[in-house]
């Protein structure tokens, strides 16, 4: 069953702690993305990666870090430098090349207490 998985669905952390959100895809897609979604707003791009071992900052990268050591995995770390980390985080992937359609995972709701 192909798709994108994100874990966990809900995550609670204390202020000042780093936390890593998992994103895995078995679609053999080259490109992967992380978005943040807040109530009343659309999706804002945090980081994206077009190939393994390469990634670029999106529009709101401050306070976040990523790695792309494997094609199927693109974990996102929310660091203590992120001033307002409570949000819904969405991971997506696309085949790359001329294929723009992005496929989304189910999301992780992060709440910082």
Partner 1 sequence: GESVGLHLPTLSVQEGDNSIINCAYSNSASDYFIWYKQESGKGPQFIIDIRSNMDKRQGQRVTVLLNKTVKHLSLQIAATQPGDSAVYFCADGITGFQKLVFGTGTRLLVSP
Q: Which residues bind partner 1 (CB under 8 A)?
A: 4, 6, 31, 33, 35, 37, 39-43, 45, 48, 50, 58, 88, 90, 92, 94, 96-98, 100-107, 109
Q: Output the smallest distance, CB 37 to partner 1, in A.
A: 6
Nearer to partner 1, 60 or 80 (CB): 60
Instruction: Give per-residue burial for 69-95: e unless 16+ CB within 10 Å, then b.
Output: eebbebbbebeeebeebebebbbbbbe
d(CA 56, CA 107): 21
Nearer to partner 1, 27 or 79 (CB): 27
Q: Output the smallest distance, CB 96 to partner 1, in A.
A: 6
d(CA 37, CA 90): 7
Nearer to partner 1, 16 or 40 (CB): 40
Which pair of tokens denotes residue 69? 């050591």
Nearer to partner 1, 73 or 104 (CB): 104
- The DSSP letter of residue 28 is -
Q: Output the smallest distance, CB 16 to partner 1, in A.
A: 25
CA distance readout (Å), 107 to 24, 88, 111: 12, 7, 13
Q: Output the smallest distance, CB 8 to partner 1, in A.
A: 14
């Amino acid at each position: 069953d192909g798709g994108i998985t994100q874990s966990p669905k809900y995550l609670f952390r204390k202020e000042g702690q780093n936390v890593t959100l998992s994103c895995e895809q078995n679609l053999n897609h080259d490109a992967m993305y992380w978005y943040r979604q807040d109530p009343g707003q659309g999706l804002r791009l945090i980081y994206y990666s077009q190939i393994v071992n390469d990634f670029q900052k999106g529009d709101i990268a401050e306070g976040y870090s990523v790695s792309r050591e494997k094609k199927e995995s693109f974990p996102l770390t929310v660091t203590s430098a992120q001033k307002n980390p409570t949000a819904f985080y969405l991971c997506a992937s696309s085949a790359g090349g001329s294929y723009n359609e992005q496929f989304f995972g189910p999301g992780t709701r992060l709440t910082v207490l």
